[in-house]
Homo-oligomer: A and B are copies of this chain.
């Protein structure tokens, strides 16, 4: 992109200043429309040091309504952020539908910091491409501007900044280093831009050496893009997809699972005790090795998810794990991409996050109850594989349990709950309604397991007709996964 960029001819800066004012008012009107239409907008402003990013952002927000935009000045991750997947802080800050988020560099700051002295790391740029595509598929409008200036101009500007005590703090060694090795940086930036310019989130290069002219160009492009969004001009589907390289495993259908496993009471007590002890020791190792675990529990109503999670938690140090119960999304969650709330509940490294129901609701309840149109839930299989790829790339162990029971066992448990005054609250009309749709769910689950059981994040189908057997198996699978990763045994 940079390497074949043609520097535009000089134009009238005074004339440009006037036009800018008109466009800023237009932008404020478009912002209101975008809000009314519930369209979420992401604007990235990247560029060379001293290329005028701050001024460019101010020129965008100049006449905007401050209550529905937010600007993020990106820094490299610190504290807990540095202990999470690198994209997680950017996911957290994605705007709600109808609002605008403007990033001073955003995820390109992290990306570039890896690419200057090393070769570009493709998994990095693939992550970005998928992240942006997931948002675009969800209706996000993504505008990306790169402010371009030459080496001489950059030197001049930084020199001037440094001369005044009021601005000298804005230039640091890294900026000067960039100027000295301009051509190295040029190549790195060029490659980064090439690898991340897609139909759903193309880069625009803005020549920003001349006063006002660059800003004018940027505002023109921005207005055009937002106008298009407001007019509903959007392709049916984006063509560039970047599916991750995942190996799907051959999995059995639910109907093929043998549910006859059981464990005797005495054996259960003994084995639970010994598994518990082993897991406790491994949890401490996990913490020291800074290894994160993300575990999802799915299964039929009354299949025993809660009981299994409880036994698991009693084998762990409570300071190092947390359970998130996933119910219907809140208004705030609905206003974001459906994966947003799961990104926000990820563990720090060394910790364990357990999800009692999970991101798989998208292809089960949301699919069957029609909460989500087919065109969106059918994309979720890829989105989920991509999400879990981010987690395993980060270094997490991803465990996904489907607790399987047969229809008769569920009925027995429903009846038993209804007869027990202490447990009656656990059984609701909704449980019966879901049960009536057993066949639809079974079909959906079979498809889900077939399409999302990958080598790095396989489904574990737990035989759940015998509760004790299931609980033991869950704890054992945790132990085995940790041992495997740590190379024990």
Interface residues of A (CB under 8 A from B): 54, 57-58, 60-63, 65-67, 69-73, 77-82, 102, 104, 166, 169, 281, 284, 288, 306, 309-310, 313-314, 317-323, 325, 330-332, 354, 356
Contacts and interface: CB of A to CB of B under 8 A. Distances in A.
26 contacts: A54-B317, A57-B318, A57-B319, A58-B317, A58-B318, A61-B313, A62-B314, A63-B314, A66-B309, A66-B310, A66-B313, A66-B321, A66-B322, A66-B354, A67-B325, A69-B318, A73-B319, A77-B79, A78-B79, A79-B81, A104-B319, A166-B281, A169-B288, A330-B330, A330-B331, A330-B332
B67 A356 contact: yes
A487 to B, nearest CB: 16
- Tell me how many chains of this kind the complex includes: 2
Nearest to A70: B322
A54 B318 CA distance: 8
A352 to B, nearest CB: 11
Nearest to A422: B32
A77 B72 CA distance: 21
Nearest to A284: B166
A281 B80 CA distance: 33
Nearest to A323: B66
Contacts of A330: 330-332
A318 B100 CA distance: 13
Given A65-B310, A66-B318, 18 more contacts: A61-B313, A62-B314, A65-B306, A66-B310, A66-B321, A66-B322, A66-B323, A66-B354, A71-B319, A71-B322, A78-B78, A79-B79, A79-B82, A102-B318, A166-B284, A169-B288, A330-B330, A330-B332
Contacts of A169: 288
Contacts of A321: 66
Contacts of A71: 318-319, 322
Contacts of A73: 319-320
B67 A323 contact: yes
A80 to B, nearest CB: 7
A309 B67 contact: yes
A80 B76 CA distance: 12
A60 B319 CA distance: 12
Contacts of A61: 313-314, 318
Contacts of A322: 66, 70-71
Contacts of A331: 330
A354 B325 CA distance: 34
Q: Of residues A66, A82, A354, which shows the largest number of chain B Cβ atoms within 10 Å of its Cβ? A: A66
A48 to B, nearest CB: 17
A35 to B, nearest CB: 11
A489 B319 CA distance: 52
Contacts of A309: 66-67
Contacts of A319: 54, 57, 71-73, 104
Contacts of A58: 317-318
A284 B54 CA distance: 12
A427 B331 CA distance: 24
Contact of A79 (B80, B310, B323): B80
Nearest to A73: B319
Nearest to A74: B319
Nearest to A324: B67
Contacts of A102: 318
Contacts of A317: 54, 58
Contacts of A67: 306, 309, 323, 325, 356
Contacts of A166: 281, 284
Nearest to A68: B325
Contacts of A306: 65, 67
A482 B320 CA distance: 44
A71 B321 CA distance: 8
A72 to B, nearest CB: 8
Nearest to A59: B318
A285 to B, nearest CB: 8
